[in-house]
Structure 1
Amino acid sequence: MTGSRVDRRGETRAVARRQVQAILRQLFPATEGVAIDHTWSGALGVPRDWCATVHLDERTGPGWAGGCVGHGVTSANLVGRTLRDLIPRRRTGLTRLPWVGRTVRGWEPEPLRRLGVRGLCAAHRAADRHENSGLERTSVIARVADAVSGR
Structure 2
Amino acid sequence: DFTVDYPHSYSYSGKLDVTFSAFQDSGTLEERILNYNFSKLTFFAAMYENAWKGIGLWSVLPSAQKLGDYPLISPETARALLLQGDYIASVPKDYIRDGTIYDEDIAGVTLVYRTEPPNQYYQPYYLFYVELPEELDVEGLKSFGRFYVPAVSGEYLSDFPSWNGSYK
Normalized per residue, which structure has more helix?
Answer: 1
Q: Give the greater-gyration-radius structure (CA).
A: 1
Task: Give the TM interval when normalised to the shorter protein.
Answer: under 0.3
So what's the TM-score if we normalise by structure 1?
0.23
Normalized per residue, which structure has more strand?
Answer: 2
Higher relative contact order (CA closer than 8 Å, sequence separation 6+): 1
